[in-house]
Amino acid sequence: MKHLNGSILSQAIKEIFSMVKRCLIEFCHELEKMAESKKLDGLIKRLHKIGVSDDEFIIAGSAAIKKNYPDFREIDDLDVIVSPPAFKRLAQSGKLIKWSGGTVKRGLRTSDDAIEMATRFRDIPFRSYMGGGRSSVVDGVRTISMPVALKWKIEAGRTKDIPDAEFLKKKGVQPSK
């Protein structure tokens, strides 16, 4: 009888450890999501710190997807479409580095490449994103719309954009026309 109780106790301990392990794994995943959200929020705060107000920028690229869908993959940087007056002011401040590449002919970036900005993306100027369903406000921050993000990801045709496009399609997003 003593051996039977030990066996039952041993099984109960194994089940408890298994439950604790599952809970810890779920907890760690939630912490990772929170940390990633803080990373995006930190980049937005940094944008404010260098002198760009909420009405002067629109988040683009993968960061826009992350802002709309917190369960989206980890992001590395913040691509931003800024108003021409903000761009001019920042260019004259000397705080940012001038750059060009991809679809951006004239841009600014932070020295660590964490934030890249331009007055137009895909040859569409800042003001044009303010209407026509090209942007939306999420938690007080303007981002490009998810149909626009999906269109860009498909058009870019880069290997790294394929999973992003698939993610948006699974969320029911249709590309803009």
Structure tokens at 45: 């705060």
| 118 bridge partner residues | 81, 107
Residue 30 confidence (pLDDT): 56
Residue 6: pLDDT band by 50, 70, 90 thresholds? low
Position 7, amino acid: S
Position 95, amino acid: K
Regarding pTM above 0.95, the answer is no
pLDDT of 21 > 90? The answer is no
128 DSSP assignment: G
Q: Say how far apart CA 19 and CA 84 lie, in whole Å.
A: 55
Residue 161: pLDDT band by 50, 70, 90 thresholds? very high
Residue 150 confidence (pLDDT): 95
Q: Say how far apart CA 35 and CA 42 lie, in whole Å.
A: 10
Backbone angles phi, psi at 93, to 5 degrees: -70, -25
Residue 174 confidence (pLDDT): 93
Determine the topology of domain 2-170 in CATH. Answer: Beta Polymerase; domain 2 (3.30.460)
* Chain segment 25-80, per-residue pLDDT in tens: 776 555 554 444 458 888 899 899 888 999 999 999 999 999 999 999 988 889 99
Q: Say how far apart CA 22 and CA 111 lie, in whole Å.
A: 41
Q: Are 97 and 111 in contact (CB under 8 A)?
A: yes
CA 2 to chain centre: 58
Nearest CA to 58 out of 151, 172, 140, 158 is that of 140
* Chain segment 69-128, per-residue pLDDT in tens: 999 998 888 999 999 999 999 888 888 888 777 666 778 888 888 888 989 877 788 888
